[in-house]
């Protein structure tokens, strides 16, 4: 008996520890600044715009869009959005779709940023430099000032008309601004500053001047280059397509360098595919480093041979060619030999991840990909707030109705339901707040509906349990035995039903798109919480309550009164049978004695006498 009690107590203590632990974790999150006490809300509750895009390939393309390409597209959109200054944008993939959620009411320009397709370009490097803007006096950056200098996310050539930075261009147009060209890791020491006239003739498509010629660096271009601050995030969006036939000023993707590049010489259509893997030495042994293998189409191979043949002997940094994806340089390797055959290998200080990333970027750039807008949704903040408020009211009404019904049906036992629901609610709230901190979960209206529906599911498992216990009481078991027996049977049923609910939730979550997922998520979560609460709260608390005279004695308001369950006679053991409605002879005598004892005795009710007996 004591063991049962201890087991029940232990379960309750553990449950308390779990609740405290969850809220403690959340408190840590709040204090460290990452989390919030309230769950973050999805777009349909907080207001904002949701755009669902599907990447589609140009017709006749035999390539396929894989997960890596999809992630690459997300990456590019994310960079553009971040650069445009929109905070808290959510970009995710669902199946083959990209879901972009922008808070508030973004302007048309921001929305257009999302759907433009990205382009891969190959351009020769003319000048490399420190990412900071060059000013006449010193290279001390003023991020705020330069940020405003060309605040627009579209670095148009005319950006050089800006005030302070433009002044520096007069100083010396041709000189390389800083010595930080060494910042380029790959800068190999090809000392031979050979004349640039070599192999210029047929290298470029329409130009008479070589793409590597420094004459592309006009005063305008230089001024733009000087003004550019690649440490400012808004300059990394680079979405505006640069003129392919002119020099371009672009940043490195991480913002550690900026470049002046010659006109475009190759584009994504010239690339067949790209892979990454461990680098092999000429003997075929592993060098322990990683490389990116670029495979070009036939056309691309011959152009590439021309480019590499031309720039291999130029002085650094002009012996580099830059791969520009979506307006930022993703890699700018230097060339020391002419690469023919359309197979190029890029080596350097790659890790496995960075090699993989570059290969993915190149492969993505090779896809003739366009993004089709599937659905666009603008929810006003007032509508969202309204829906949240009404949803919560609906939840409250539902909860109150369930509480009232279970109190009517189960009397005091209904309070156990109420307590269990309260515990389940507390745990679910903490979990959702934690999940919105850790995995960025956002509560949507469908999710709220899932939570409200879950009230019913959770209460159902209590009803299954209570009815089971009542059935056992009807069979004539004592309350202790009825709980033991009923629990063993109800447990199976509850677990089976919950397993089916979880199955439904998982299938819906994995397969479905859009709002269905939010619903499936909360349904699955609350089902798990339900199991936890039934095992660690409802059952232990019922075991403890069974020890009290109120429940154990089957008080008529306890909801476990054997007489109300049609059990007028209860076998008490030792050949004794209690007629529930009438006290036994011993009880009557005891009652008489008690009555006599008290000076002005009041008649004790049979129910309370029996309660004593059962203790």
Partner 1 sequence: MKLNLAQWGNSLHSGEKVYPIVPQRKRWFAVSAVLIAASIALLLIKGLNPGIDFSGGTEFRVTDAPNPDTAIAQEVVDAAGVEGTARITVLGENDVRVQIGVVESETARELTTELADAYEVDAEAVSFTQIGPTWGAEVGKKAVQGLVIFLILVTVVMSLYFRAWRMAAAALIALAHDLIITVGVYALVGFEVTPASVIGFLTILGYSLYDTVVVFDKVRENTANLTSQHRYTYDELANLALNQTLVRSINTSVVALLPVSAILFIGAFVLGAGTLQDIALALFVGMAVGTYSSIFVATPAEVALRDSETKIKEHTQKVLAMRESGSSDVTIAADGSVRVGAVDKGAHQGSSAQPRRKNRKA
Residues 412-441 that bind partner 1 (CB under 8 A): none
**Residues 468 and 537: beta-carbon distance below 8 Å:** no
| Shortest distance (Å) from residue 370 CB to partner 1 | 14
Q: Does 141 bind partner 1 (CB under 8 A)?
A: no
| Shortest distance (Å) from residue 240 CB to partner 1 | 19
Interface stretch with partner 1, choices 73-81, 231-239, 594-602, 607-615 (CB under 8 A): 607-615
What is the spatial distance between Cα 188 and Cα 318, in angstroms, rounded to a whole number?
11
**Residues 350 and 290: beta-carbon distance below 8 Å:** yes
Binders in 574-603 for partner 1, by CB under 8 A:
574, 576
Q: Does 455 bind partner 1 (CB under 8 A)?
A: yes
SS3 sequence, 257-312?
CEEEECCCCEEHHHEEEEEEEEEECCCCCEEEEEEEEEEECHHHHHHHHHHHHHHC
| Shortest distance (Å) from residue 596 CB to partner 1 | 19
Q: Does 191 bind partner 1 (CB under 8 A)?
A: no
| Shortest distance (Å) from residue 485 CB to partner 1 | 9
Binders in 1-60 for partner 1, by CB under 8 A:
1-2, 44, 47, 52, 54
**CA 168-169-172 angle, 5° bins:** 100
CB of 145 or CB of 453, closer to partner 1: 453
Contact pick of 26, 42, 134, 459 for partner 1 (by CB under 8 A): 459
| Shortest distance (Å) from residue 419 CB to partner 1 | 16
Q: Does 487 bind partner 1 (CB under 8 A)?
A: no
Please name the residue that has the structure tokens 């893997």. 277
Residue 274 CA, distance from chain mean position: 28
Q: Does 492 bind partner 1 (CB under 8 A)?
A: yes
Contact pick of 79, 312, 442, 477 for partner 1 (by CB under 8 A): 477
What is the spatial distance between Cα 313 and Cα 323, in angstroms, rounded to a whole number?
19
Q: Does 386 bind partner 1 (CB under 8 A)?
A: yes
CB of 88 or CB of 245, closer to partner 1: 88
| Shortest distance (Å) from residue 466 CB to partner 1 | 9
Structure tokens at 341: 């055959």
Long-range CB contact pairs, 165-171, < 8 A, 24+: 165/133, 165/134, 165/135, 165/223, 165/226, 165/227, 166/223, 166/226, 166/227, 167/136, 168/134, 168/135, 168/136, 168/223, 168/226, 169/219, 169/222, 169/223, 169/226, 171/136
Contact pick of 523, 534, 541, 542 for partner 1 (by CB under 8 A): 523
| Shortest distance (Å) from residue 427 CB to partner 1 | 18
Q: Does 408 bind partner 1 (CB under 8 A)?
A: yes
| Shortest distance (Å) from residue 517 CB to partner 1 | 10
Binders in 92-131 for partner 1, by CB under 8 A:
95, 97, 105, 108, 111
**Residues 587 and 609: beta-carbon distance below 8 Å:** yes
Contact pick of 71, 176, 207, 467 for partner 1 (by CB under 8 A): 467
Q: Does 382 bind partner 1 (CB under 8 A)?
A: yes
CB of 441 or CB of 521, closer to partner 1: 521
Q: At what angle do helices 67-84 and 108-115 cross, to 10 degrees?
A: 160
Q: Does 500 bind partner 1 (CB under 8 A)?
A: yes
| Shortest distance (Å) from residue 13 CB to partner 1 | 21
Q: Does 539 bind partner 1 (CB under 8 A)?
A: no
What is the spatial distance between Cα 359 and Cα 383, in angstroms, rounded to a whole number?
44
Pairing of strands 271-280, 258-261: unpaired
Interface stretch with partner 1, choices 18-26, 75-83, 144-152, 394-402 (CB under 8 A): 394-402
What is the spatial distance between Cα 311 and Cα 293, in angstroms, rounded to a whole number?
20
Q: Does 311 bind partner 1 (CB under 8 A)?
A: no
Closest CA to 499 of 457, 471, 527: 527
Contact pick of 19, 512, 528, 594 for partner 1 (by CB under 8 A): 512
SS3 334: strand
Number of H helices, E strands in the chain: 18, 15
What is the spatial distance between Cα 230 and Cα 250, in angstroms, rounded to a whole number?
8
CB of 16 or CB of 95, closer to partner 1: 95
H-helix or E-strand spanning residue 97: strand 97-103
Binders in 346-375 for partner 1, by CB under 8 A:
372-375
> Residue 94, by phi and psi: left (phi above 0), alpha (psi -120 to 50) or beta?
beta
Interface stretch with partner 1, choices 76-84, 138-146, 490-498, 536-544 (CB under 8 A): 490-498
| Shortest distance (Å) from residue 95 CB to partner 1 | 7
Interface stretch with partner 1, choices 125-133, 273-281, 435-443, 509-517 (CB under 8 A): 509-517
What is the spatial distance between Cα 581 and Cα 568, in angstroms, rounded to a whole number?
6
| Shortest distance (Å) from residue 211 CB to partner 1 | 37
**Residues 594 and 604: beta-carbon distance below 8 Å:** yes
């Amino acid at each position: 008996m004591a063991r049962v009690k201890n087991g029940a107590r232990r379960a309750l203590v553990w449950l308390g520890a779990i609740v405290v632990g969850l809220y403690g974790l959340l408190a840590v999150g709040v204090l460290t600044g990452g989390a919030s006490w309230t769950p973050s809300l999805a777009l349909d509750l907080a207001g904002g715009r949701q755009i669902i895009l599907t990447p589609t390939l140009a017709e006749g393309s035999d390539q396929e869009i894989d997960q890596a390409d999809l992630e690459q597209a997300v990456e590019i959109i994310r960079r553009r959005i971040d650069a445009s200054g929109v905070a808290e944008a959510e970009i995710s993939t669902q199946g083959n779709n990209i879901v972009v959620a922008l808070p508030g009411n973004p302007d048309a320009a921001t929305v257009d940023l999302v759907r433009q397709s990205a382009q891969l370009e190959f351009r020769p490097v003319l000048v490399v430099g420190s990412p900071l803007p060059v000013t006449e006096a010193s290279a001390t950056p003023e991020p705020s000032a330069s940020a405003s200098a060309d605040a627009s996310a579209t670095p148009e050539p005319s950006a050089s008309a800006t005030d302070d930075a433009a002044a520096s261009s007069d100083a010396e147009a041709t000189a390389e601004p800083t010595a930080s060209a060494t910042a380029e890791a790959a800068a190999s020491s090809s000392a031979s500053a050979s004349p640039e006239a070599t192999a210029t003739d047929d290298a470029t498509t329409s130009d008479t001047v070589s793409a590597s010629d420094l004459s592309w660096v006009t005063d305008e271009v230089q001024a733009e280059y000087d003004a550019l601050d690649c440490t400012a995030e808004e300059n990394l969006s680079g979405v505006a397509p640069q003129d392919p036939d002119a020099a371009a000023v672009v940043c490195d993707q991480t913002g550690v360098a900026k470049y002046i590049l010659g006109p475009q010489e190759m584009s994504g259509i010239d690339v067949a595919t790209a892979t990454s893997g461990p680098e092999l030495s000429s003997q075929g042994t592993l060098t322990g480093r990683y490389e990116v293998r670029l495979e070009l189409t036939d056309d691309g191979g011959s152009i590439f041979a021309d480019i590499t043949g031309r720039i291999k002997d130029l002085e650094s940094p002009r012996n580099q060619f830059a791969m520009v994806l979506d307006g930022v340089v993703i890699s700018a390797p230097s060339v020391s030999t002419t690469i023919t055959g359309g197979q190029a290998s890029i080596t350097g200080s790659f890790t496995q991840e960075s090699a993989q990333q570059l290969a993915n970027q190149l492969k993505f750039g090779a896809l003739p990909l366009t993004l089709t807008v599937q659905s666009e949704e603008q929810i006003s903040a007032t509508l969202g707030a309204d829906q949240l408020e009404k949803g919560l009211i609906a939840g409250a009404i539902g909860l109150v109705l369930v509480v009232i019904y279970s109190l009517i049906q189960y009397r005091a036992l209904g309070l156990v339901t109420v307590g269990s629901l309260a515990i389940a609610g507390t745990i679910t709230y903490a979990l959702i707040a934690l999940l919105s901190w850790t995995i960025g979960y956002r509560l949507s209206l469908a999710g709220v509906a899932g939570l409200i529906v879950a009230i019913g599911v959770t209460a159902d498992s209590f009803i299954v349990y209570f009815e089971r216990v009542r059935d056992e009481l009807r069979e004539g078991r004592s309350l202790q035995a009825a709980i033991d027996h009923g629990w063993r049977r109800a447990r199976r049923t509850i677990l089976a039903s919950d397993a089916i609910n979880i199955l439904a939730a998982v299938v819906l979550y994995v397969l479905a798109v859009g709002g269905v997922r939010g619903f499936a998520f909360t349904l699955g979560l609350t089902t798990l919480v339900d199991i936890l609460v039934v095992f660690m709260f409802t059952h232990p608390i019922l075991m403890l309550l069974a020890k009290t005279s109120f429940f154990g004695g089957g008080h008529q308001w306890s909801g476990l009164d054997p007489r109300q369950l049609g059990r007028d006679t209860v076998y008490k053991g030792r050949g004794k049978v209690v007629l529930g409605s009438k006290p036994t002879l011993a009880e009557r005598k005891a009652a008489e004695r008690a009555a006599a004892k008290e000076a002005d005795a009041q008649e004790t009710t049979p129910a309370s006498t029996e309660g004593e007996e059962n203790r």
